[in-house]
Amino acid sequence: MTCLTLGPFAIDPDGVLEPRAPELRPAIRFDWRGRPVEAALHDGALELAAIAGRVPSTAEPGADRASAFEAIRSLPGSLPEGWRVRLLPDHRIQLEAATPVRPAATATTLVAAMVRFALALDPYLDRLDSTCATASGNWNT
């Protein structure tokens, strides 16, 4: 029995989340400090990803691409255990983490994990901001 919905999830009376369309990889998207963040339940884990910035284009006058690439190279050694950094083909910088969730995960579990991830992002966003690897604006561009 569903009491209410939270994005792509149905929530039962005990607060347990059930994907409404599991084949679509249900996720909740939100912005943190102007960056898009996604939280998706997949294979017993909560997968979190944030577009942390973008390497400046060579077409941007005065762009300091070398500093941006150096910041990206230095990130893996300083990230929390289980986190990773990816440079996407369009030069967006994505930080990712996954955390296991119990089979009957609740909305509270999901929101708490999203908040912990967002707060833990801050020092890495500051570092990227200081190197001109700026915020990307939205999830798809």
Number of domains in the chain: 1
CA angle 6-114-21, nearest 5°?
Answer: 35
Domain-embedded: residue 69: yes
Task: Give the whole-angstrom CA distance, residue 79 versus residue 5.
Answer: 34
For residue 134, give the DSSP letter: B
Q: 19: Cβ–Cβ under 8 A, 6 or more apart, which residues?
A: 8, 9, 10, 26, 41
Q: Per the domain annotation, does 17 fall within a domain?
A: no
Q: How far is CA 132 from CA 39, 40, 58, 59, 140, in A?
A: 26, 29, 13, 14, 20
Quick check: is 13 in a domain? no
pLDDT band at 99 (very low <50, low <70, confident <90, very high): confident
Q: What is the token pair recorded at 111?
A: 């929101």
Full residue range of the structural domain in which residue 90 is found: 24-129
In a domain, 16, yes or no: no
Q: Which band of pLDDT confidence, cut at 50, 70 and 90, is reported for residue 47? A: very high
- Is 84 within the bounds of a domain? yes
Residue 67 within any structural domain of the chain: yes
Q: pTM surpassing 0.85?
A: no
d(CA 19, CA 99): 17
Q: How far apart are CA 71 and CA 130, in angstroms?
A: 9
Mean pLDDT of 74-80: 90
List pLDDT tens digits, range 101-134: 877 788 888 889 999 999 999 999 998 888 766 6
Tokens read off for 94:
């994505």
List the CATH number of the domain containing 34: 3.30.1460.10
pLDDT computed for residue 137 by the predictor: 44
- Checking if the pLDDT of 4 tops 80, the result is yes
Q: Provide the phi-psi class of 115: left if phi over 0, else alpha when psi is between -120 and 50, else beta.
A: alpha
Instruction: Judge whether residue 90 has pLDDT over 50.
Output: yes
Instruction: Give residue for tokens 């284009």.
Output: 57
